[in-house]
Chains A and B, each alone.
Chain A
Amino acid sequence: GAGVSQSPSNKVTEKGKDVELRCDPISGHTALYWYRQSLGQGLEFLIYFQGNSAPDKSGLPSDRFSAERTGGSVSTLTIQRTQQEDSAVYLCASSLDSGGYTQYFGPGTRLTVL
């Protein structure tokens, strides 16, 4: 079956603009995660959704970052007023649930803020 997909693959934006990154999880997966991979910070957790429960937002670096998951499927990560330090690869992953199941990753979105 289809894996996790993310769009766009690459995004170049100007400082101060808002961006939206999209993630389509594997069908039937109730848990969805966002991570950020940057040269300076490595791979860091941002947020995760599990079914209809309140998301765990503990990894979001600032209030400029937000995410939503509509209908328990597609998720959008929004970064407002982008800064140069937001430049990174944003990875999405999904799993059957947030228990012990393996997380499957998408190919990521490379964000470049000029």
Chain B
Amino acid sequence: AQTVTQSQPEMSVQEAETVTLSCTYDTSESDYYLFWYKQPPSRQMILVIRQEAYKQQNATENRFSVNFQKAAKSFSLKISDSQLGDAAMYFCAYRSYNQGGKLIFGQGTELSVKP
């Protein structure tokens, strides 16, 4: 069974600075998807970024980028130029390529942004 681990329950960053959230996962599959979701206090989960395991290039979305290390089974999220609106709970998630669409989530990292 696949597992996802986020070892940082809480992180803090100064506004305009850069922060990296860690995520590791365990799987025996070679094809899969990885995601970072953001959950603000409104509870609505919002997709931040996704990565297909077969792609070597790290995904980027504006100020958000990932460092995908397939051999190490690591998938960290870097947030550049942090903004107050980035404060939220961040979840790393894994999805099998061909065993249905269910997401397996990590425990989450609560990010606070200091003005």
A contact residues vs B (CB 8 Å cutoff): 31, 33, 35, 42-45, 48, 50, 56, 59, 89, 91, 93, 95, 97-100, 102-108, 110
Contacts and interface: CB of A to CB of B under 8 A. Distances in A.
A42 B92 CA distance: 12
B103 A103 contact: yes
Given A89-B43, A106-B44, A50 B50 contact: no
- Sorting the interface of chain B by its residue count into under 10, 10 to 19, 20 to 34 or 35 or more gives 20 to 34
B101 A33 contact: yes
Contacts of B107: 42
Contacts, number: 55
26 contacts: A31-B101, A33-B101, A33-B102, A42-B105, A42-B106, A42-B108, A43-B105, A44-B105, A45-B103, A45-B104, A48-B100, A48-B102, A50-B101, A56-B102, A95-B101, A98-B101, A100-B33, A100-B52, A102-B47, A103-B47, A104-B47, A105-B44, A106-B44, A107-B42, A107-B43, A110-B43
A39 to B, nearest CB: 11
Interface of B: 33, 35, 37, 42-47, 50, 52, 91, 97, 100-108
Instruction: Identify which of A43, A99, A110 gathers the most chain B CB atoms within 10 Å of its CB.
Output: A43
